[in-house]
Amino acid sequence: MPRFHRGDGAPNRGLWQSVSVIPDTSVSAPQVPAADQTLRILSYLGRQRGPVAARTIAETLGIARSSVYHLLAAMAEHGFVVHLPDERRWGLGTAAFELAGGYARQQPLARLGRPLVAALADRWGESAHLAVMTGRDVLYIVEERAPRRPALITDVGVRLPAHLTATGRAMLAALPREQVRALYPDAAAFADRTGRGPRRPGELRDVLRRTRRQGFADEDGEVTLGFRSVAVAVHDHAEWPVAAIAITWPADSAHDAASLAPAVAVAAGELRRRLYG
């Protein structure tokens, strides 16, 4: 509500002037500095290829180092960042991946990816899908089942352990090694479905090393016995894996990962182009 005071020379005339007490929105200083700094730190970490030192964060963003440490500790408690003590660096945590997955589900990723996934299913006569990372899981956001093929577990909204799936491996292989180590620190982090697949960090490193070398990820009966999959990651401008496209087929069919991978890679590249230009 406005307040009033007398203008110059007004006492004898009984005139009043209004003075606004509404805050000046032109002031650039944030109303909640800690929240502003927290969001700036998260945005900065999201643009990096890997974890970075707290000192680097402080110097780059112009935030006091003590404040950076306090904010990072609070974010770590909620899972938005992880601390890698051996490297003395900080990276994004699983809660940040949850936010990324939520954005992907609500924004163009599924809408733009669906026709590409459907085209793969039509061309090859096998089921195809699109998934995003969420913590140590993959979340399926598009599923196109080929005619006369059985329903798969990879339905929309289903989560599966990333280290067992072709989509998960494609994305994990594109993450910094420190980030993978933070997600899978020991054998307790490894879920099992069919008795196949990596069960400890060293075995996962071997799988991801092979994935990077061959340019695509594959799995054979590690999600569902009798089925195989091949996948390729979709990267953003910073080469961060935002999703992965895959084809799944019965193990006794004539298809193999090497023959299907080029088509999946073309679809992943086209989705990247549609998303980021």
Could you give the domains of the chain? 33-98 (1.10.10.10), 107-276 (3.30.450.40)
Mean pLDDT of 160-164: 96
Can you tell me the distance from the alpha carbon of 243 to that of 7, in angstroms, rounded to the nearest whole number? 64
Residue 76, both tokens: 């770590």
Does the pLDDT at position 117 exceed 70?
yes
Supply the DSSP symbol for 7: P
Q: Please tell me the predicted confidence (pLDDT) of residue 156.
A: 80
pLDDT tens sequence across 174-219 = 998 888 998 999 999 999 999 999 999 999 999 999 999 999 999 9
The pLDDT > 70 percentage for the chain reads 84
Q: Token pair for residue 35? A: 């929240």
pLDDT level of residue 124 (50, 70, 90 thresholds): very high
N-term to C-term CA, the chain: 49
Write b or e for each residue in 31-62: b if 16 or more Cβ atoms lie within 10 A of its Cβ, otherwise e.
eeeeeebbebbbeebeebeebbebeebbeeee
DSSP character string of 134-186: ETTEEEEEEEEPPTT----S--TT-EEEGGGSHHHHHHHHHS-HHHHHHH--S
How far apart CA 84 and CA 183 sit, in angstroms, is 11
Distance CA 212, CA 45 (A): 23
What pLDDT digit, counting tens, does each position of 26-82 carry? 445 567 788 999 999 998 998 887 889 999 999 999 999 999 999 999 999 988 999
